[in-house]
Structure 1
C-alpha cells in the first residue's frame, strides 16, 4: 500500500494551524495525517484525499487548493469515537489532465478495494470521471449519484467539466447499473437531456422536488455506491465559491444530504467538487464543505449501528397488497429506515411515503421504477 505515496503530496499541518496546537477533541489532533511521514491508514474507516485539479474547467490547477477545506475541517470537534479518519494528502498534479485522472483513479481504487470509504476534496467536476473509473478498474458495477444544478451532458467536449457524463454513461464497457441526478435547476438544463436520461430509465430529481421533502432522497443515497457533489448545487449566498446561482440547496440541506450519504451501507466514495479558494476569500465555502464532511462522518456512525437485512429480529415487517400485488415492507428498529420487497424477492430502500402509498392501494413510484429497470 506504500505505493500510494508515489501519487500523493503531504499536507503541512503547521501551515494549516499556524503552529497552534489542536485540543484533544478536535479533528486536527485525531486524524492520521500524511505530514512529515506517510501514515498507517489501515485502522481508518474514512480516508480523505485532495486534488486541486481544475484544468477540466479551463482554469489553472493547484494541488494545494483542498488545504483551505482542511483548515476549517480540522478545527471542528470529533464526536464519533468509532470513526477513524485518515488524510493521505493531495494528488500530485500530472503533466496532463489524463495523468491526474489516472493517479486519482489508482488511489481511489486501492482504498475502495481495501474496504475504506473515500472522501475526495476535488477541483473541477470532471474528476468524477476518475472516481468512476476506479470502479471500472475493479470491474464493479455501481449505482452512481450526482448532486448538481447542471447536467454535464454537453455534446461539445470542452470544457471537460461540462461534458464528462456522456462518457461515463455511454462508454463501453459500462459499469453503471443505475444513475441518479439530484438538484438540477430546470432553467439551466436543456429539456432533451432529461428526455435522454428518462429513456435510459435513470432518475432525476429537480431542485424544488428534492427540497420539498428531503427525506425522500435518503433511499436514493442509501442505494448508491458513489456520490459526486458539485458545490454549484448550493445557493451562492451560502457557498460563494460556487458562484452559479442565487438558488439551490441551503447549507443545512447540503449537510443533510451528506449525512444521508454517510448512512449508506453501499456508498464507498464521496467526491465534493468545484472548490476554488481564489473565489472564497472569506472561507465561507470551505467551512460549508467542512461541515458537510462532519455530517457525512455523523452519518457513518448511524450506518455502523444498522443491522443487516438478514437479521429479522432487528426489523418490523408489514405485509401490504396494492393493485393485486402482495409485498412486504420492513422498518429498522434501530434507525427507522424503510425497505420494500420487489416480486423477485430482493429488498430496495424506500421511504415511509412509499408504505403509505401502498396502504392506499397505490403503486409506489419507486417500486414501479425499480420494476421497469428489471424488465
Structure 2
C-alpha cells in the first residue's frame, strides 16, 4: 500500500480548474478521469497503475531556478487529451515542494518515488533538469534494488569538471558505492557532442550506447533495450528543435513521432517502474508545442502499458512461437509472442532476454547477434 498521508508533507496539490481555465473536463478526457491531489481531495493510490509526480527543480542546471511551471504546463496539455485506455488507472500526487537546498529536493524526490515503487506503482516524473535522474536512481538504491537504467539524451552527462550537477550526475550514479546498477544503456547520443574517450570508458564497463542515427535507422532496436529497463530517464534534447522548440541544443534529433515510439516502448516494459521526462523549459517553448509533444509521449506511454497488460508470461509457452536455432556451434531458442509480436532469445544460462527480429535473422544466417554477445560479456 502507498500511504499518501505519509507523502503529503513533500507535495503541493494541483488545481484542475486552474489547468482548464475553470472549465469542466469531459468524462472521456484524461483530466476527467485522473485521480489528482487537489486542496480538498486525496488520490486513492492503491487503485492507481501510473502515478504522475511534478518536480520543477532546476537548481542543478544552468538556469539555477528553485522551481519551474513546466510540470503544470505539461499537465495542461496532457489533461486535454482523450483517454483511450480505460484499463489504465491514473493518479496525480501533485508537485514536489522546493526544499531549502538542492539536496533537500533530491531527498524528498527519492522518498516519494521510492515509496511509490515499493507499492508497485509506475511513476511518471515531469521534470525539472536532467540531474533529477540521480534521485530517481537513489529511490531504488535506498531500497537496495539492483536495476538496469536507460537514459535517452543527446549528450552524455559525465563532465566531472562541470559546475552544474545536470552535466555530471551520471558520474555520481556510475561510481557511487555501494552501487545498485546492474547495467546502463544510453539511447540517441549525437556523436559531435560527445568526447570519444567518454564512449570508450562506457564500453569498457560493458555499457551499451546507441547513436541517434543507429536507432533512427531501425526504431525497433530500442524496444528490447527499454523492455529490460527498470528506470528510464529522457531529456527532451533528444527531440529535434522543430518538433520541440524548447530544445535549443540541436536542430537534429528524433522526430516527435519517434519520441512517442520510445515512450510507447517504455510503457510496454513489464519491468519499468519509473519514467522521468526532463529538460523542459516552458520559457523557451513556442505555442506550447513542446508541452504538447511531451503530453502526447505520455499518452503513448499509457498506450504501451495497455499492450503490456495483454502480454503472456514466458512460462505460458502456448502463447509463443518457438524457434530452435544453431549458430557458431551454439544452440539456442528464440521466442515470438503471438499477442504482441515481440522477441526473446535464450542465453547459455537458460535465461531469456529481450531481443529484436533482426537478432533472430542474424542467428538464422549463422551470425552471432551483437546483443547476444554483449549479454554474454556481462555474464
Contact kept? 2:58, 2:68, Cα under 8 Å: no
* Residue in structure 2 matching 1:74, options 79, 103, 119: 79
Structure 1-normalised TM-score? 0.99
* Cα RMSD after superposing both structures: 0.8
What is the rounded CA distance, in whole Å, between the counterparts of 1:138 and 1:21 in structure 2? 40
> Which piece of structure 1 moves more, 169-178 or 278-287?
278-287
Whether 1:174 aligns to 2:179 is yes
* Residue in structure 1 matching 2:15, options 9, 12, 23: 12
What is the rounded CA distance, in whole Å, between the counterparts of 2:115 and 2:318 in structure 1? 36
Match of 2:222 in 1: 217
Aligned pairs for 1:212-251 (under 5 A) are 212-251=217-256
Match of 2:92 in 1: 87
How many residue pairs align between the two structures? 374
Gaps of 5+ in 1: none
Match of 2:24 in 1: 21
* Residue in structure 2 matching 1:314, options 289, 295, 319: 319
Match of 1:153 in 2: 158
Aligned pairs for 1:334-345 (under 5 A) are 334-345=339-350
SS at match of 2:46: coil
What is the rounded CA distance, in whole Å, between the counterparts of 1:32 and 1:85 in structure 2? 6
Give 1:58 deviation, angstroms: 2.9
Whether 1:52 aligns to 2:56 is yes
Aligned pairs for 1:124-135 (under 5 A) are 124-135=129-140
Give 1:209 deviation, angstroms: 0.6
1:289-345, Cα deviation, whole Å (9 max, x unpaired): 000000000000000000111111111110000000000000111000000000000
Give 1:64 deviation, angstroms: 3.6
Give 1:63 deviation, angstroms: 4.9
Give 1:74 deviation, angstroms: 0.4
Aligned pairs for 1:178-189 (under 5 A) are 178-189=183-194
1:225-252, Cα deviation, whole Å (9 max, x unpaired): 0000000011011111121100000000
Give 1:156 deviation, angstroms: 1.2
What is the rounded CA distance, in whole Å, between the counterparts of 1:140 and 1:351 in structure 2? 27
Contact kept? 1:48, 1:88, Cα under 8 Å: yes
What is the rounded CA distance, in whole Å, between the counterparts of 1:64 and 1:134 in structure 2? 24
1:160-199, Cα deviation, whole Å (9 max, x unpaired): 1000000101110001100000000000000010000000
Match of 1:32 in 2: 35
What is the rounded CA distance, in whole Å, between the counterparts of 1:325 and 1:79 in structure 2? 45
Aligned pairs for 1:179-328 (under 5 A) are 179-328=184-333
CA separation of 1:15 and 1:281: change in aligned 2, threshold 3 A = farther
1:121-175, Cα deviation, whole Å (9 max, x unpaired): 0110000000000000110000000000000000114111000000101110001
What is the rounded CA distance, in whole Å, between the counterparts of 2:162 and 2:46 in structure 1? 39
What is the rounded CA distance, in whole Å, between the counterparts of 1:194 and 1:200 in structure 2? 10
